[in-house]
Structure 1
């Protein structure tokens, strides 16, 4: 066997090793998923390499990749699309073209991206907003917000909250022909986090007279205390959102100081004085039995007070909606929660379902057995269309 043949064989083996990702048997499009996972892996590795060389911040590569997939606000035969600002926050507005004698439903949508990436202009967010507006005959407001690491909590929360409050003004609803009794909020991943957080905040805000009818949370991130939930253990290396990346997103939300990231990764960031908060994220009592199999609950390890004193955001209910007590959950609107089996955030959503039900909130939980984090955003995958259909069907019936 010649040298060239050996080298080609070696390159082929290494290439196959790099591309190969263990995939559950239940996945209906394994090769498509493997190719997508390889792309994510490549972008992540480039970001790590660039950061280690001091060329750029880790998130800069992700921002560059995401911005390359942004699209202009272009109207089509079904929907008119425009950009404007709601209380100085840039939003996209999607209005169905067909005539309607009655006031329309309104949906306020918040994109994901770990509080660091994404925008209302991202191709997949734009597609979902168009399809939602057209299928539901609804006015969709897709909001932006300032991103980490340039901006940290609570900036993202405040941008979304200020944008939502502007939308909920009577004169704004009249301008866009929206029924004030049929307004919902929705978001995916970090957007689901922000949707849950502002939904809690708006309940008791005396300045907001018009309340939300529904909230739809798509694989939301909801708690900062326990990075060792069963879902984190089972999916810690799953390609779309490994534990290391999720912890990095959480940490960047609060600070560029990577000591917080390290402490969160090893579950050593919550000080003893905040130990009472663990009752709200105790998976041993909040998860159904089938999600606890093979796992044993360990009492949390407490960290020093230094990180919590410097970055109190990670124990703030506006960043971690699961930390809200039952009395504040009671008034939340009709809720729809999507969780995916192969997702580190799976148990966040499931625990919130339990918390909301215990507080008397009507909840529909849609658990996707063959789902993975971000599945709704990967148009071209059969699972994306399936989840979208279930999501829009629920909104059609309940909003």
Structure 2
């Protein structure tokens, strides 16, 4: 009996040691966050082991969470949900019920997941889309784009662009009773990246007559040139999105070649030959002083041009919207940008806000100084966070007022 008790105590201590993670003092509901993070870390460890022994690719293991969270299209009293195709791209469509002669608003939503995992059918995304459709009386088009490592850039962007372009046709909007003057593109994380790139490309596409009214970028990833910004350094081990995982997402977006991952980890994937592009992502001029702190800005000194030649997408504005020239940003729609203090992508959002404002774009910047990447969708599941509910309420209230 004593031995069983001792084993139980030791096991409890080991579990507590694994789960416990020092977090900033101002984070809410710390134990919930630790449990969420421990679950995510465990999946990552399993992925590393599976890849090490040649059983499965790391991202295939990470996709287990996507499968576990899968939901079938289920309508309710307020919203009709169907899976369909827009220009051969799978989308999940949410149409509010109720008879009305008034035209509806619409949101093109793009899920996150580092271009490698995730789905419009995951419970958190499905819940957000239903809530958005009902609350805003809006048609929601949630896009399921192809994922890495099976498909690399620009396939993800192409899917999003083709689906959005299809939806923005006047005859399609008329079919779904959508007001062509009240359409938004929204996305989180990698979805925010794709939403920003979508807004830029649609603005300058002469074939698209219907333009976006709003772009919503939720803790977006916006540049892959400098992976040593202050937020990448300070938040390298924060919950859910570590620097290593974000760099892995970036490298998988382009290739399964591990040498690119290693180069990106050391921030030596861009050559000095392309140093002129760093002016667009120069955090020393684009971040507020309180985020720069004592960090020293330095353009990487690297003579290796092999990666850019092999993977030109590294310098493509569709992959890194922050690389857009100032004149290409002018005229973009009203932007609502959400950033989180304890997020490796924090500085991407801040830099884009600075550049958009400089280009004359109206931006509303909602910065949360007490939370981490991915929190918006944590208002469901076994460990729901109250902050997530408040963030969603603000997000929907803002859209209701401005869309």
The TM-score bracket by the shorter chain reads: over 0.9
- Mapped to 1, the partners of 2:385 and 2:10 lie a distance apart of 32
Which residue of the partner structure matches residue 372 of structure 2? 372
Q: Equivalent residue for 2:305?
A: 305
2:346 matched to which residue of 1?
346
The within-5 A match list for 1:319-330 is 319-330=319-330
**Deviation for aligned residue 1:303:** 4.6
Q: Which residue of 2 aligns with 1:132?
A: 132
Q: Please state if 1:157 is matched with 2:160.
A: no
Measure how far apart 1:29 and its partner are: 0.8
The equivalent of 1:43 in structure 2 is 43
C-alpha displacement at 1:391, in angstroms? Answer: 0.9
Q: Which moved more, 1:60-69 or 1:80-89?
A: 60-69
Contact kept, 8 Å, 2:66 with 2:122, in 1: the verdict is yes
What is the SS of the residue equivalent to 1:40?
Answer: helix
Which residue is equivalent to 1:244?
Answer: 244
Q: Offset at 1:392?
A: 0.9
Supply the distance in 2 between the matched residues of 1:6 and 1:303 (Cα, whole angstroms).
58
2: distance between equivalents of 1:63 and 1:38?
17
Summarize the Cα distance change of 1:244–1:210 in structure 2 as closer, same or farther, 3 Å threshold: same
Q: Is 1:22 aligned with 2:26?
A: no
What CA deviation, in whole Å up to 9, does each residue of 1:196-236 have, x standing for no partner? 00110011111101100000000000000111111011100
The separation in 2 between residues aligned to 1:193 and 1:309, in whole angstroms, is 23
Match of 1:12 in 2: 12
Pairing partner for 2:393 from 365, 371, 389 = 389
The number of equivalent residue pairs is 399
Aligned to 1:210: 210
How far the C-alpha of 1:63 sits from its partner, in A, is 1.0
Within the candidate set 392, 395, 402, 1:398 is matched to: 402
Q: Give 1:360 deviation, angstroms.
A: 0.4
| Contact 1:337-1:363 within 8 A present in 2 as well | yes
Q: Output the aligned Cα RMSD.
A: 1.3
Q: Distance in 1 between matches of 2:68 and 2:303?
A: 40
Distance, in Å, in 2 between the alignment partners of 1:339 and 1:98 is 35
Check conservation: 1:269, 1:303, Cα contact below 8 A.
no
Contact preservation (8 Å) 2:186, 2:195: yes
What residue is the counterpart of 2:198 in the other structure? Answer: 198
CA contact (8 A) 1:214 1:333 kept: yes
Tell me, yes or no, if structure 1 residue 31 matches structure 2 residue 31. Answer: yes
Retained in 2: the 8 A contact 1:326–1:359? Answer: yes
Q: Shift of residue 266 of structure 1?
A: 0.8
Query: What is the CA distance between 1:4 and its match in structure 2?
Result: 5.5
1:331 paired with 2:331, answer yes
Q: Does structure 2 conserve the Cα–Cα contact (< 8 Å) formed by 1:50 and 1:56?
A: yes
Residue 24 (structure 1) shift: 1.6
**Superposed displacement of residue 141, structure 1:** 0.5
- The 8 Å contact of residues 272 and 300 in structure 2, kept in 1 or not, is answered as no
Residue correspondence of structure 1 range 63-78 to structure 2 within 5 A: 63-78=63-78
Work out the CA distance in 1 between the residues paired with 2:391 and 2:265: 30
Shift of 1:98: 2.2
CA deviation vs aligned residue, 1:301-350 (integer Å, no higher than 9, x gap): 32511111111111110100000010000010000000001100000001
Deviations 1:46-86, CA, capped at 9 Å, x for gaps: 11111111110000111122111110011001111111100
Task: State which drifts further: 271-280 or 4-13.
Answer: 4-13
CA positional deviation for 1:147: 0.4
CA distance in structure 2 between the partners assigned to 1:294 and 1:12 by the alignment = 40
CA contact (8 A) 1:267 1:301 kept: no
After TM superposition, where is structure 1 displaced by more than 3 Å over at least 4 residues in a row? 1-10
The residue that corresponds to 2:143 in the other structure is 143
Q: Which runs of 5+ in 1 are unaligned?
A: none
| Residue equivalent to 2:114 | 114
Contact 2:278 2:299 in 1 (8 A): no
With 27-36 and 110-119 compared, the bigger mean Cα shift is at 27-36
CA distance in 2, matches of 1:365, 1:143: 25
Instruction: Report the CA distance between 1:394 and its aligned residue.
Output: 1.1
| Cα deviation, residue 286, structure 1 | 0.1
Alignment match, 1:98: 98
CA distance in 2, matches of 1:156, 1:194: 8
